[in-house]
Structure 1
Amino acid sequence: MRLRRSPAALVAAIAAVVIALTGCGADSQAAAGEPGEKFTLRIGVIGSGNRLTGPVGYLHDKSALVPLLADAGVGGVEVFSFPNGPDLNQALVAGELDLATYGDTPALVARGAGQPTRLIAQAAVGLDAAIVTKKGGPGSLQELAGRKIATQTGSYMHRYLLGALTDAKIEPKEIVHIYASDIEAALERGDVDAAAVPAANVEALRYKSYPVIDTLAVDHPQYRGTSATVVTETFLGEHAGFVKTWQAAQVEATRQAKASWDEYLSFAVDVGGFASDIVRKTTLEEQLPDTPFTDEGLTLLEGTKRFLVQQGFVRKDFAVDDWIAPEARG
């Protein structure tokens, strides 16, 4: 089954990528500065509060990230939060960011639209989600046929939802874009019958007795999400050695997070906005790889890319191996 639902936000982002490709270099060069000078690394993330999450965010929160990046010329870090991947992609292609760390789905869509990025790491592998329904609503995946379903379009949850429906040969009435933070209100009002949301949101909704009818990691593990850390090709050309420096910082951040797990979880509670018991249940050490790339992470990434090509969300197919920056290999 081919679901012909190119969400407006995703389509707009792709269009912005194509239009802006020829005009982003000068702004990026101005922000980066001359070779050898200290510069401020501009990082785009998904979330709020302009804060880095994950182990790298944990390190940055302790003022320990910039020193690890100093050898690459980084004198400071500025973080910009975006509500979803398509919005971040527009800022990246406009030359307003140097690096982005976000979900694999929007990163793949952008690359497939011709956005000149290079993949340098995966900071998280095996991200979970689930399909939650309104109270008294559909009781199974099959009962979603002809129903209205919400998700955050352009996300790994969106990819999971489409994959689960396709595998079950289910045709919903409509898939609509709603941010994960607004899903509960939509379910409460009956605006939608079900929604695909991240693991932490699932637990928050489960606590309030919203039924969970399908779980990504249990029912469709091949669709688990990963993160993608990408840099622009312009930035990469101006900062030789940055990739290895960033990868080393990510590895060290993960090591420190796992070595001080309770402290890391406290950071995750602070930055995530969820209750401590939810964060502790959904933040898993095994989702944080000890190396920049793993076989599992690349396998999941390839599967996501292949599905997005089949669905038409990735306009032009490409090899993941060609997307990875040469300096990032090994």
Structure 2
Amino acid sequence: MSHTTSASRRRLLVACAATLALPGAVRAQSDGNTLRWGYIGSGRSPALPSGWALAHGQLPRELQALGITTIRTHAFPNGPDLNEALLAGALDVGIYGDTPAVVARSRSPSSVLIGIETSGMNAWLLTPRDGVKAVAELRGRKVGVAVGSYMHRYLLGTLKQAGVLGQVSVVYLLGKDAEPALERGDLAGYAAQIELGPLLASKGYPVIDEAAKHPTLRGSSVIVATDKALDRWPALPAAWHRARGAALQAIRRDPAAYHAFHARTTGFPLAAVQASYPLEQFPDQPFPATGLQLLAHTKAFLLEQKLVRQDFDLTQWRGADRTLAKG
């Protein structure tokens, strides 16, 4: 496991350097009117409620009042990639999984949790078509996952519950490479994220477990901002949540329109998007109680497994008095 983590870190540092070299990112870094937003995905723009708010104008209108005239979005394949860019000062806001966000906060106090975008995300543990039938049968075998992601935490948690943690070889593999690896039989299993999990299941890859069966192993997507961004735009969290709230009202009025927008934005089939994003996963409040409970479980598990070494107070990370009280 330590070898995998070390190799992954080297890859992430290279990815971060490439991000910083992008001309648009460099120009945005020195422009006080530009907000730089990192998100996870292969689409050209973000999805989720904040993505809807961007695409339909609610977010640009709110941010314009703060003096933000340009929003630059940058897609990342995985949370640790986004972490490195955020910690390097190449982003102002990030929306991504709870696990890498907790890891980033444990490394540096420079990020502030300003909201929870989704809460209760599922993950799917799939096998080759003639693969094992139960998690315990993965003992001595190889399982892939995007290391450092919320799916990684789910995988370790379900392996622990099955009594085989430490007896399974966990290897780094991004979602785009999962299907070929399962088809060839290179892996005994793959822990897949939202959208990808239902898509692979629809192609006949059996699901032997999922996070929905383990309430404390479900994931969240969080919204974080840097200290520097909040110093520049103190009212940013309040403006963001007004825009997100307006987007949620539109989404709840027409869920079919939202799912169609999400499918167009991400390129995933509509059925996979519908299976991944029931609207109850989109909280109306910035800090819903269930979302905070999931974050607490995430932090406790990562500390227990020594995947993070520095504990911190979730209330202080929220910075609620500093952020949502303004604007």
TM-score by length of 1: 0.88
- Please give the residue correspondences for 1:233-248 in structure 2 after superposition, counting only pairs within 5 Å: 233-248=227-242
Structure-1 residue corresponding to 2:88: 94
Counterpart check, 1:65 vs 2:88: no
RMSD: 2.2
Amino acid at match of 1:200: E
Structure-1 residue corresponding to 2:6: 8
Q: For residue 74 of structure 1, give the secondary structure of its aligned residue in structure 2.
A: coil
Counterpart contact for 2:236–2:323, Cα < 8 Å: no
Structure-2 residue corresponding to 1:145: 139
Counterpart contact for 1:308–1:314, Cα < 8 Å: yes
The alpha-carbon deviation at position 53 of structure 1 amounts to: 1.2
Q: Judging changes above 3 Å, is the alpha-carbon distance between structure 1 residues 303 and 282 closer, same or farther for their aligned structure 2 residues?
A: same
Amino acid at match of 1:180: G
Q: Can you list the C-alpha shifts for 1:140-177, whole angstroms capped at 9, x where unaligned? A: 01101111000111111100000111122203331011
Counterpart contact for 1:147–1:193, Cα < 8 Å: yes
CA distance in 2, matches of 1:289, 1:12: 35
The alpha-carbon deviation at position 299 of structure 1 amounts to: 0.2
The alpha-carbon deviation at position 62 of structure 1 amounts to: 2.3
Q: Can you list the C-alpha shifts for 1:87-127, whole angstroms capped at 9, x where unaligned? A: 11111122111110111111110111125100000010000
One of 210, 214, 219 as aligned partner of 1:220:
214
Counterpart contact for 1:122–1:293, Cα < 8 Å: yes
Structure-2 residue corresponding to 1:279: 273
Structure-1 residue corresponding to 2:17: none
CA distance in 2, matches of 1:44, 1:158: 20
One of 162, 186, 198 as aligned partner of 2:193:
198
- Please give the residue correspondences for 1:174-185 in structure 2 after superposition, counting only pairs within 5 Å: 174-185=169-180
Consecutive unaligned residues in structure 1, runs of 5 or more: 17-26, 34-38
Counterpart contact for 2:263–2:273, Cα < 8 Å: yes
Amino acid at match of 1:197: A
Structure-1 residue corresponding to 2:21: none
One of 265, 268, 272 as aligned partner of 2:262:
268
Q: For residue 197 of structure 2, give the secondary structure of its aligned residue in structure 1.
A: helix
Q: Can you list the C-alpha shifts for 1:47-77, whole angstroms capped at 9, x where unaligned? A: 1244111011112222332012222222121
Consecutive unaligned residues in structure 2, runs of 5 or more: 15-25
One of 310, 315, 321 as aligned partner of 2:309:
315
CA distance in 1, matches of 2:197, 2:163: 24
One of 103, 112, 118 as aligned partner of 1:118:
112
Amino acid at match of 2:118: A
Counterpart contact for 2:44–2:265, Cα < 8 Å: no
CA distance in 1, matches of 2:63, 2:29: 20
Counterpart contact for 1:148–1:174, Cα < 8 Å: yes
Amino acid at match of 2:30: A
Structure-1 residue corresponding to 2:23: none
Q: Can you list the C-alpha shifts for 1:257-278, whole angstroms capped at 9, x where unaligned? A: 1122111111011012121222
The alpha-carbon deviation at position 9 of structure 1 amounts to: 5.6
Q: Judging changes above 3 Å, is the alpha-carbon distance between structure 1 residues 5 and 109 closer, same or farther for their aligned structure 2 residues?
A: farther
CA distance in 2, matches of 1:75, 1:268: 25
Q: Judging changes above 3 Å, is the alpha-carbon distance between structure 1 residues 11 and 309 closer, same or farther for their aligned structure 2 residues?
A: farther
Q: For residue 163 of structure 2, give the secondary structure of its aligned residue in structure 1.
A: coil
Counterpart contact for 2:58–2:244, Cα < 8 Å: no
CA distance in 1, matches of 2:10, 2:109: 14
Q: Judging changes above 3 Å, is the alpha-carbon distance between structure 1 residues 75 and 183 closer, same or farther for their aligned structure 2 residues?
A: same
Counterpart check, 1:132 vs 2:126: yes
Q: For residue 122 of structure 1, give the secondary structure of its aligned residue in structure 2.
A: strand
CA distance in 1, matches of 2:28, 2:77: 26
Structure-2 residue corresponding to 1:24: none
Structure-2 residue corresponding to 1:31: 30
Q: How many percent identity over aligned positions?
A: 37
The alpha-carbon deviation at position 29 of structure 1 amounts to: 9.8
The alpha-carbon deviation at position 13 of structure 1 amounts to: 8.3
